[in-house]
A = this chain, B = another copy of it.
Amino acid sequence: MENGVRAQASRARQQAILQAALSLFLNNGFGATTLEQILERSGASVGSFYHHFQGKVEVAAALYLEILDSYQSAFLRELRRHREARAGIEGTVRQHLRWTGHNQELAAYLTHCREPEVAAASEARAQNLNRAFFGQTGAWLAEHLRQGLLRRLSPHLYHALWIGPADEFTRLWLLGSRPRDVKQLARAEDVLASAAWNNLRAPSPRRVRP
């Protein structure tokens, strides 16, 4: 039982380090963040830090992967709640906006902290996550495609038309000066959701005939 207590304390320390690193990376960037700052803010000692992590980049990589996984899981959870094509596509766009509003720091990290050093350290594992993610969304779409409800497009174009507008919007919103107004996201939901649907749905037969 004592072990349990220790393991828990150990995990708490890890979380404290990750948390401290996250906000520092966001404010100062990865390169400008010093280990000393991370230690100071997390209350860890040098040795303790290196007992839990291999180094600074590993922390950044771990952070990126954790956040990416969290975003993708939420996205897929939302997608699976829907049977209908339109509901799924619009729902995930709304979900994207809501997740960004609730996890501003995480979203900012996902978007901005992509320095080559860190990217290299997380690349392999990130690709695994992405492969799984696109596999799942692809499977969900497959049926609706078969029914002719959606346009046939290359995967990149699909992604661009689906999430592109919302992603661009949240990107700009995150760049804006703080404190950010979460209501702006809510107000944009309808427009961005229906834009995604209109971008992806198969052209209605009515439009063809004059």
Q: CB within 8 Å of B: which residues of A?
A: 27-32, 112, 114-117, 153-154, 156-157, 159-161, 163-169, 172-173, 184, 187-188, 191-192, 195, 198-199
Contact = CB atoms under 8 A, between A and B. Distances in A.
Secondary structure of the A side of the interface? helix
Nearest to A116: B29
Given A31-B117, A115-B115, A117-B32, A166 B173 contact: no
Contacts of A157: 169, 188, 191-192
A-B residue pairs, 3 tightest by C-beta: A31-B31, A164-B168, A160-B169
Contact of A168 (B31, B159, B184): B159
Copies of this chain per assembly: 4
Most B CB within 10 A of own CB, among A153, A157, A172, A191: A157
Contacts of A173: 156
Nearest to A26: B116
A5 to B, nearest CB: 18
6 contacts: A157-B188, A160-B172, A161-B195, A165-B165, A167-B168, A195-B199
Nearest to A163: B168
Contacts of A199: 165, 195, 198-199
A173 B115 CA distance: 18
Nearest to A188: B157
A172 B198 contact: no
A210 B169 CA distance: 32
Nearest to A199: B195
Given A153-B191, A159-B172, A116 B164 contact: no
Nearest to A200: B195
